[in-house]
Every structure is written in C-alpha cells, then in structure tokens.
Amino acid sequence: MEVNWTAFAIPAFFIFLALEYAASVRKKKNLFTFESSVANLSIGIAERLMNLFVSAGFYGLFYYVYEHFALFTIPATFLVWILLLLATDLVWYWYHRLSHEINIFWAAHIVHHQSEEFNYTVSARITVLQAFLRNGFWCILPLVGFHPAMIISILVIHGTYSFFTHTQMIRKLGWLEHILITPSHHRVHHASNEKYLNKNYGDLFVFWDKMFGTFQGEEEEPSYGLTHPLKSYSFIWQHFHYFMEILATFRKAKTFKDRWQVVFGRPEHIDQNVRKVLERKFLPHKNQLRSTFRFKAYLTIQITTATISLFVLVMFVAYAGVPEKTFTFLLIIITLVNCGALLEQRRWIYYLEYLRLFFVISFLSYYFASAELFMTGLFFILLSASSLTVKRWYLKFVYDL
C-alpha cells in the first residue's frame, strides 16, 4: 500500500504541542487560551489542506525554471549544500522583510502575526497565499542553478526548524544566540512592543539581520500580536480583512501615487480607522462568549474531526479520487469556518451545520449510488432546517443561551 508518510507530521506537531503545554503547566505559565489555540489550529489545518493540492505545482515550477532558465549548472557537492542552505535563508530573509514592508505582501503574511499568544500553535498560522508568495521568491534558487531536488530537501529542513522557534518555554541559548535565530529572537519578531517592531526577519541564521540592520535582542518581556489587535476569531475575517482594508483605502485614494502606495507601500499608508469602519460593518455586535464545558467539548469535536480528516486524506491521497478529495476538502473547510463562527457566537452556524450535512448525504448517495438516500436526506434537511423549535434547541445546546 502506497502511503504518504508526510501525514505523520500532523501527529508529530500535536505531540510537541502537548509537551509544550505540559511544560507550561508545570512551570505555571499561562501560555495557552482555548479560543486562540482553536483559531490558530484552524488556519494551520486549512494551509496543510490547500498545500496538499498545490505543493506539486510548486515543485513542478522549480523544475520548470531550472530546466528552461537556469543560469548555471551547480553540482551537488558538500560545499554546494552549505551554500544552498545559506542562499535559502538569505532569500527567506528578504521575502520575510518585504512581506512586512509591502502592503499586498503583508496582507498574506499578517495572519501569522494576529495571535496575541505565542506558542507552537502560532507556527501553524500560515496561509496558502503566503505559500504562493514565498515559493515565488524561492524560484530564484533554481534560476541561479541549484537543482530542485536539493532545494526541496533544504526547504524541509528550513520549515521544520522554524516550528521550534515559536515558543516561550525555551529561553536564551547562550552562544547559539550569535549564530541562529533562536526562540528568543523570534519572540522579538512577533512582539508588538515599539522597540521590537520590524526586527529579526531571519529564519535560521541571525547574521542577515545583523548585516542589514534589523536585529534586536530580547530585553523586556514581549507583548504579542498586532499593534492594532484583531477583534475577531472568524476564520474568514482573519484571512481577508487586510485585503478589504487595502481595497477600502484604495477606493478613497485620489491620485495614482496614493493608490500605488496603498497597494505597494508600507502598512503605515493604510488608514488605521479603515479597520474600525469595516469591523462595524462586517462584525456586528456579538454576545459575550461563554466558554462552558459543553461549548468547548463541541468545538473540540469540530477541530478534531477536521484534523483527523486531513490526516487520512494526506496519508491516502494516492488512492483518493476527485469525489473523495472534493468531499473531504469541502467538509474540512466548512468545519473550519464553523469553528470560527462558533467562537464569534454567530447564529447562522445553524444553517452551516445543515450545509455540512447536505455534503455528507450527497457523498454517501454518490458512493452507494442511491437516489432514494439523497431524496430522503434532502427532505429531512429541509424539514428540520425550517423548524424554529429545532433551531432554538440547537442554539441553546451550543451557546447555552
């Protein structure tokens, strides 16, 4: 049986997450909040899901650039591997720095910085838009002449290392602080303290920041998140709010120069009041979140279902046809949107539940080739969804209203 062993990165992630949580409890440090952790994991699950369908395209692009446009043919010697590691980290530095300095790039990267806590769950806050952007930068490497197989191997090491820098449990590491980007350095990068802003863009080595004047050591305890905190756990809003801010500011701009700065200028060119206006329009008043045991259990079931579905899909993707991939994709995405809506106390999740049920019934009807099953399920959905009694019971069960 052909199994995709990269699927085991998912349980490995949760093992290290559990170890970090246990260490924080032992040291009596409150590093986790239930709601924020769910939001972080939701974004990470979505990225892994999307990456499953686009990663082959990224690798194919590396090979295409290498085969058609490579400036040199660089042999795979030991010294070249070292050179490639340094080159990869240098490209990352400039991709990362420009992602903070150019608005349209920041719109893809801002999701990674929204969390006001800092732990391993934050490392999961990557979007597929960010993946497209950074892989575009990494095309420089096959263009120079590094073989794509070497690049892919280095990127695995690079990505794995960056996971371990997202923690508060590892303090300063002595002489390694002068060579590597350590958790201490990366805590500075995620901080919203004024002296820490726009610092420590490196991913593996610290000397790029020192070379280009963006290094800052950790001094006072960092405060995490955005300088203007996001007031929502909505899965959709977290992904697209900054694009909406760019669009709203662009529409108000009078000259070509102003519009250019809105899109390609720095985040400072976006009026901070725009977010407040958009929040009033798209994030109307919501009830105070009541995190009862029942609510947390229900939300945990949702995020666990999405995680297990992703794990199974990644492991057996070679055996999944288009219907199985489509169904699993839709089931996971709807579940993640549902998780965000639950945290926002949205009442329309009642109908989202029926949409998810509709996809389940449709898939089972297709799998068993049963029109009767589909019609029976559809009749039940329409009858139940239109019942105010069922709706009131559901909302009372979920939100304890």
**Tokens representing residue 383 in the block:** 């009858």
Q: Which of 294, 392, 299 is nearest to 337 (CA)?
A: 299
In a domain, 108, yes or no: yes
Does one domain contain both 252 and 387?
no
Cα separation, 228 vs 27, whole angstroms: 30
Residue range 370-384: average pLDDT? 92
In a domain, 230, yes or no: no
Cα separation, 125 vs 41, whole angstroms: 7
**Confidence category of residue 3, pLDDT binned at 50, 70, 90:** confident
Give the Å distances, CA to CA, from 243 to 108, 110, 203, 299, 318.
8, 10, 26, 28, 35
Cα separation, 319 vs 3, whole angstroms: 9
In a domain, 228, yes or no: no
**What pLDDT shows up at residue 286?**
64
Does one domain contain both 182 and 38?
yes
Does one domain contain both 79 and 134?
yes
Q: Which of 96, 340, 390 is nearest to 239 (CA)?
A: 340
Yes or no: say if 54 and 128 are a contact pair by the CB < 8 Å rule: yes
Give the Å distances, CA to CA, from 102 to 189, 232, 263, 265, 303.
17, 24, 7, 5, 33
Per the structure, how many domains does the chain have?
3
Does one domain contain both 144 and 63?
yes
Residue range 226-235: average pLDDT? 88
**What pLDDT shows up at residue 273?**
86
In a domain, 222, yes or no: no
Residue 369 DSSP code: T
Chosen domain end from 250, 282, 314:
282
Q: Which of 85, 102, 93 is nearest to 134 (CA)?
A: 93
Handedness of CA 121, 16, 219, 267 (dihedral sign): negative
Q: Residue 289: pLDDT above 80?
A: no
**What pLDDT shows up at residue 291?**
74
**What pLDDT shows up at residue 1?**
62
Residues 51-78: pLDDT tens digits? Answer: 888 887 888 899 999 999 999 999 989 9
**What pLDDT shows up at residue 196?**
95
In a domain, 260, yes or no: yes
**What pLDDT shows up at residue 401?**
65
Secondary structure element (H or E) that encloses residue 270, with its range = none
Does one domain contain both 202 and 272?
no
**Tokens representing residue 255 in the block:** 């000259």
At 27, the amino acid letter reads: K
Does one domain contain both 309 and 208?
no
Does one domain contain both 278 and 317?
no
Give the Å distances, CA to CA, from 195 to 165, 181, 217, 336.
20, 18, 10, 35
Does one domain contain both 101 and 129?
yes
Does one domain contain both 254 and 395?
no
Phi, psi of 398 (to 5 degrees): -75, -50
Q: Residue 313: pLDDT above 90?
A: yes
Does one domain contain both 162 and 33?
yes
Handedness of CA 9, 10, 15, 16 (dihedral sign): positive
Q: Name which of 54-58, 145-149, 327-331 the model is least confident about.
A: 54-58
Number of H helices, E strands in the chain: 17, 0
In a domain, 106, yes or no: yes
- Residue in the block written with tokens 């965000």: 340
Residues 113-138: pLDDT tens digits? Answer: 999 999 999 999 998 888 888 889 99
Domain region containing 323: 293-399
In a domain, 220, yes or no: no
Does one domain contain both 335 and 386?
yes
Residue 95 DSSP code: H
Does one domain contain both 59 and 164?
yes
Yes or no: say if 47 and 131 are a contact pair by the CB < 8 Å rule: yes
In a domain, 229, yes or no: no
**What pLDDT shows up at residue 200?**
96
Give the residue with greater pLDDT, 397 vs 139.
139
**What pLDDT shows up at residue 101?**
96
**Confidence category of residue 4, pLDDT binned at 50, 70, 90:** confident
**What pLDDT shows up at residue 399?**
84
Q: Residue 139: pLDDT above 90?
A: yes
At 5, the amino acid letter reads: W
The pLDDT > 90 percentage for the chain reads 71
Residue range 265-282: average pLDDT? 87
Residue range 293-300: average pLDDT? 90
